[in-house]
Amino acid sequence: MDEPRPTWLSLGTAGLGMDYGVVAPTRQPSDATAHALLERAWALGIRSIDTARAYGEAEARIGSWSGRSGNRPFIVTKIPALPDNGGERIIEQSLQASLAALRADRVELCLLHRAGDLHRPGIAAKLREIASNDLIGGFGVSIYEGAEIEAALSIEGLAAVQAPVSLLDRRLVESGVLGRAKARGVLVFARSVFLQGALFVAPEKLPSFLRPLAEPLSRLTTLAESSGVSPMALSLAYLRASGVIDSLVIGATTSEELEADVRLANQSLDPELIERACAIVQIVDPACLDPRRWPASIAVP
């Protein structure tokens, strides 16, 4: 994929356009607060923004801020799950709606929210056509499983994948699949870097469906406190040390939260400490790591 490229940190905007969060929920901020957060992100050197049609008012707020400030970030937006028929038309409609909301002529990346849609007849060809018309810089997919990445790598023109990766969920790093994607020039974005806020919650206060995380999180908290760092810092340091992540998608709803996240994401830690953290955080129940398998009443964008 040609320049421009994303910065090390991407601002996730689900929380700017809707109430968001499962384990540590947040309320949608006001327009003024959202604009202030976007401005602060820019001042902190964040030039990449992750958004989607599904994120309520997020795209409109980004477009309003960009038009007012004149700043032009690296935008990643997403196409919602496609129907069995007419997917090409939905892609065009969704992308045009995104461009209008963002007040932009193009976006750098357009991802399919459901990885399997990339393999429907005509979909990859439509995305390549849109890229050739310079409405997008490239296309990719949001995935959950390593097999989805392996399948996506067979698609001509694939530019990016976005995947859940954290110290709590290292499967895609340890399997080598993200490394293979990066080696082919595919951009790798990490999302859910705090596992939907689980790292912010005291182990004893986790909801019942995440109870298997309590013991590993307790061990991680003990290690972090004894080392003078936070569990969040350890998780982010692990992602940076992995060498396979191009950009971390971090969410925040206030400038203070954002500044704390940026500080932690740029903190360098002893590689031995990161190895110790990985050794004591072994998750054996995959249901805890996949929001799609959490209680059906919980909506996860």
CA distance 236 to 220: 13
The answer as to whether 113 is a domain residue is yes
250 DSSP β-pair partners = 11
266: tokens are 């740029």
190: tokens are 């990490």
CA dist list (Å): 262 to 8, 131, 237, 249, 258 = 10, 32, 12, 11, 6
Q: What is the DSSP letter of 136?
A: B
Minimal CA–CA distance to 286: which of 169, 147, 207, 172? 169
Tell me what pLDDT residue 296 has: 59
**4: preceding bond cis by omega (within 30 degrees):** yes
Tell me what pLDDT residue 291 has: 80
The answer as to whether 215 is a domain residue is no
The answer as to whether 107 is a domain residue is yes
Q: What is the pTM of this model?
A: 0.92
Q: What is the CATH number of the domain that holds 157?
A: 3.20.20.100
Quote the number of domains for the chain: 1
Tell me what pLDDT residue 134 has: 95
The answer as to whether 174 is a domain residue is yes
1: tokens are 């994929």
Tell me what pLDDT residue 20 has: 52
Torsion over CA: 45, 254, 236, 12 (sign): negative
The answer as to whether 293 is a domain residue is no
38: tokens are 């976007």
Instruction: Kindly state the helix (H) or strand (E) to which residue 77 belongs, with its residue range.
Output: strand 74-79
The answer as to whether 274 is a domain residue is no
The answer as to whether 288 is a domain residue is no
Per-residue pLDDT of the chain (301 residues; tens, 9 = 90+): 556 789 999 999 987 865 555 554 556 778 898 999 999 999 999 999 999 999 999 999 999 999 999 999 999 999 999 998 999 999 999 999 999 999 999 999 999 999 999 999 999 999 999 999 999 999 999 999 999 999 999 999 999 999 999 998 999 999 999 999 999 999 999 999 988 788 888 888 888 888 888 999 999 999 999 999 999 999 999 999 999 999 999 988 888 989 999 999 998 899 999 999 999 988 767 778 888 788 754 444 4
Domain of 119, in residue numbers: 9-200+243-257
CA distance 281 to 285: 12
The answer as to whether 207 is a domain residue is no
